[in-house]
Amino acid sequence: MKRTFRNSKKERLEPEVVESAGRWEVVAPLSSVRLGETPRNGVKSRQNVDYPKWSTVYVARSERDCKRWLDKWHHAVYKLCIPYEVR
C-alpha cells in the first residue's frame, strides 16, 4: 500500500463513511498539494508543508450507496490521499 497520512498515534488516516445530518458521506484526508491549496514549489523549497484536509468526496442517502461508491472509486480516492513527496 502506498504511503498515506498518519495521526499523532502513528495510525493511518483512511477514507471513512460517516453519517451527518441524516445523510451519509464519504470523507477522506486529502493532500493539500493535490487539492491545489498548497503550492508544490513551496513544499519543495521547504517553505510550506503538505497537510491532510478532511473533505467530503461523496454524499448519498444510504450507507450502502456510499460503501458501493467507495469500492468503485477506491483507487482514485487513495491517490488524492497520498502526501506530496520531494524527490
Distance (Å, whole) CA 15 – CA 8: 17
What pLDDT is attached to residue 47? 92
Q: What is the pLDDT of residue 2?
A: 62
**CA–CA distance, 17 with 20 (Å, rounded to integer):** 10
pLDDT block averages, 10 residues each, the chain of length 87: 71 90 95 92 91 95 96 93 84
4 found inside a domain: no
Domain hosting 57: range is: 16-81
Return the number of other C-beta atoms located less than 10 Å from residue 9's C-beta.
Answer: 5
C-alpha 3/C-alpha 19 separation (Å) is: 27
Asked if residue 77 belongs to a domain, the reply is yes
- Asked whether the whole model's pTM tops 0.85, one would answer no
Would you state the pLDDT for residue 75?
A: 93
In a domain, 7, yes or no: no
H or E element: which one contains 65? Answer: helix 63-72
Give the total number of structural domains in the chain: 1
Q: Is residue 38 part of a domain?
A: yes
Domain assignment present for 10: no
